[in-house]
Amino acid sequence: MHEKGGAVPALRVSTLTRSLAALALAGLASGAAHAQSTVTLYGSLDGGLRNLVNGTKTGGAALTMASNGVYNSNRWGIEGKEDLGGGYYARFVLEAGFVLSTGANNNTNNQIFQRTSTVGIGGPFGQIDVGHQYTLQHFVVKDFEPFDFHYLSITESTAVSGGTTGRDDNDINYRGIFGPWVVRGEYAPGGVPGSVAHGSTLGGGLNYHTKTIKLGAGYTHKSNPLTATSSQYFANDQYTAGGAVTLGPVDVMAGYSLDLQDTPASARSMTRNQYLWGGLRYQATPFFNVTAAYYDDKNKTGGVDGRKGVAIIGIDYLLSKRTELYADIDYTHFTGVYVTNATLNLSGHQKQTGISFGMNHWF
């Protein structure tokens, strides 16, 4: 017997201490299991040379450093994900572009995260991201874009994906994966007081995936402001469809996109852009592949036609898991009003031939 108020036996103290420590560790482990989080820094650096015959108004060749990324856009980003438990998670992405040769931001507005800035949540229902991000059409088309959105300054992929450089502001993007089906939805409010539709974007899409076949289709409706300060707006509808077939080491793909945009009432007309493209990828070895594609853009505005055709062949060789060498040769042909369109054709020549080569490293 121990006297009341006497010392607690050493054995009991030791047992109690171990029990409390075990409970504390169990609590920490339980919390970690439901609140694991990761933050990843990633990026891509692309540099090389590009020579464009008829790249100047005088007809000479334009030799430039591919410091904005001919093959892949130069970027760096931060991606984070937190496990909320029960199959749910929270995520964010902040991504910025830069010019390799000067280190400057790759935009005229000096925005930092002008490529992507989103926060979202995901779970068994799918994933929802909110912010500045790729358009719904971008995700739909990715399955059957021959160059997988590489060589964006040469191909017509950015124009097909729509938005501002292929992205939308104030965007709510949904993706749900249900077996082989991927359901997509997009809504971007215009943010104009007194009008829900003004400046808004609304779209839906569907992709189907198997080991050998990929199919996709999407529709987007935009209510574009007439001017930056106008309360009037006009409709812009885009319809996209395409697919890809895998035959051993070869992927064959093709796509179609029709963009219909009302013009101001004074013009009494509609701008019609029709895009057709097709191509193939050949994975010759695990380290070397060849891709060839053709893109056609036919435009009609107010009864006036313009056309742009681009044929391109590119090769890619992996030096390691993170470093690759690339090269391409491409031919562009302008007809109609596209010949004198200073936005699409700075040199004003009908035919241009380009050669690019460089190195891309990502981390």
Predicted pLDDT at 198: 77
The answer on pLDDT for 102 being more than 80 is: yes
Average pLDDT of span 187-206: 84
Q: Which residues does 127 contact at the CB level (< 8 Å), separation at least 6?
A: 91, 120, 121, 174, 175, 176
pLDDT band at 187 (very low <50, low <70, confident <90, very high): very high
* CB count in 10 Å sphere of residue 47: 18
DSSP 147-171: TTT-STTTSSHHHHH-TBTTEEEEE
Tell the burial category of 33 from Cβ atoms under 10 Å away from its Cβ (0-12, 13-18, 19+).
exposed
Q: pLDDT averaged over the chain?
A: 86
Predicted pLDDT at 34: 53
Taking the C-alpha atoms of residue 141 and residue 99, their distance in angstroms, rounded to an integer, is 27
Predicted pLDDT at 164: 64
Using one digit for the tens of pLDDT, what is the confidence trace for 113-170?
Answer: 999 999 999 999 999 999 999 999 999 999 999 999 999 999 999 899 886 678 999 9
The answer on pLDDT for 5 being more than 70 is: no
What is the number of alpha carbons within 13 Å of residue 207 lying toward its C-beta?
Answer: 21
In CATH terms, is domain 128-362 a member of 3.40.50.300?
Answer: no
The structure tokens listed for 186 are 């997009």
Q: What are phi and psi of 42, to 5 degrees?
A: -140, 170
Average pLDDT of span 92-121: 90
> 35 vs 353, which has greater pLDDT?
353
Q: Which residues does 128 contact at the CB level (< 8 Å), separation at least 6?
A: 120, 121, 122, 172, 173, 174
Indicate if the alpha-carbon torsion angle 47, 329, 163, 241 is positive or negative: negative
pTM of the predicted protein model: 0.84
Average pLDDT of span 68-79: 92
Parse the chain into domains and list their residue ranges.
128-362
What is the number of alpha carbons within 13 Å of residue 237 lying toward its C-beta?
Answer: 5
Taking the C-alpha atoms of residue 142 and residue 251, their distance in angstroms, rounded to an integer, is 13
The structure tokens listed for 337 are 């009003």
The answer on pLDDT for 9 being more than 50 is: no
What are the C-alpha distances in Å from 172 to residues 168, 169, 183, 216, 218?
Answer: 9, 9, 14, 20, 16
The answer on pLDDT for 30 being more than 50 is: no
The answer on pLDDT for 242 being more than 50 is: yes
Using one digit for the tens of pLDDT, what is the confidence trace for 307-362?
Answer: 999 999 999 999 999 999 999 999 999 999 999 887 788 788 899 999 999 999 99
The answer on pLDDT for 178 being more than 50 is: yes
pLDDT band at 211 (very low <50, low <70, confident <90, very high): very high
The answer on pLDDT for 283 being more than 80 is: yes
Q: Helix %, strand %, coil % for the chain, to 5?
A: 10, 55, 30
Q: Which residues does 131 contact at the CB level (< 8 Å), separation at least 6?
A: 116, 117, 118, 119, 170, 171
Using one digit for the tens of pLDDT, what is the confidence trace for 225-234?
Answer: 766 566 667 7
The answer on pLDDT for 12 being more than 90 is: no
3-state class (DSSP) for residue 66: coil
The answer on pLDDT for 203 being more than 90 is: yes
Check residue 9 and report its DSSP letter.
P
3-state class (DSSP) for residue 84: strand
Predicted pLDDT at 28: 42
Predicted pLDDT at 197: 75
Predicted pLDDT at 292: 98
The answer on pLDDT for 177 being more than 70 is: yes
Residue tagged 């490529």 (tokens): 115
The answer on pLDDT for 246 being more than 80 is: yes
3-state class (DSSP) for residue 274: strand
Taking the C-alpha atoms of residue 260 and residue 274, their distance in angstroms, rounded to an integer, is 9
Indicate if the alpha-carbon torsion angle 158, 163, 164, 167 is positive or negative: negative
Q: What are phi and psi of 139, to 5 degrees?
A: -70, -35
Percent of the chain surpassing pLDDT 70: 85
Lowest mean pLDDT of 32-36, 62-66, 172-176, 310-314, name the range.
32-36
